Structure 1
């Protein structure tokens, strides 16, 4: 799962992130400004509230539709699907301010983190994973969730793990064996490998 690409498979296929909320941000901002100018209790304010609610409802429908389409594609294409066991609530927490030692606080990363949080929530990973789980159960597909720790830093070819392996958001180059790949594809292969290991362990138990 990602923000730049909504999801990437170990086969190298990528599904783009539609960013539904971002696409409607202009209309929402206009509608919310219009709402703020309306007198409380007035008929015009009620209409303005309805316009804002309708825009949010449209975004929710678009997210759900996208989740169903992406999940259907995976269900049709694979008998076993492995995904990251993401703790989305923890990932979108506001960062705590750190004291600067002089009675104040260091520059807050909250603004940058807020942008990332909004992108994560806009991607609706939680909605997608819920839809995927239901569809996998109905279709008899095996669904495995794995710990995502270090999957983006580990070389899918030799297993070397280092933060230096991840050059950029999209580039992966192993400092040990020289293996180069798209970073998300490399991570997806590691996630698949972890899922297969869990499956073997369960079968052996």
Structure 2
């Protein structure tokens, strides 16, 4: 009988000013996949806008949305914001905000994905008008998140602090919800190899 592995899909959303944090998300997932995950018969996969391929005839965010697919197909939605909110789309105040709205709607309708929001410490005494406007939009988003009681969010002061928080919280979440005793819908390891033929270490 083939070993069963549950694939945990994570969507990563953020504006463009948190590249270090985004890389840390991928690094943490890679580390967990080589340590904790195998013992629990799970495997994590991070999907983000960088995975999108070129398209034509529609605005960029709509093309990304179509390639992302339905948000309820993801188990976890990680949102990171610090100093920038992003550029507006035809449907929302920014691409990141649009991805959040899609995830929120899916969660309200289906219970998936679980949504984690991390807010980093902002730069102080910014002088450029555009930077001030971006920070104001982030603050407005945080205020709406709190006032609408969307849930609990985490703050961090440094990128290392973010990495440590994410690592510990992700392991705790995985063990609580995706331990060996909760493997409904697990994907046979042989099939997972077929889905990702280049990943010989599965």
TM-score (norm 1): 0.32
Pick 1 or 2: higher relative contact order, CA cutoff 8 A, min separation 6: 2
- For the pair shown, which has the larger CA radius of gyration, 1 or 2? 1
TM-score (norm 2): 0.33
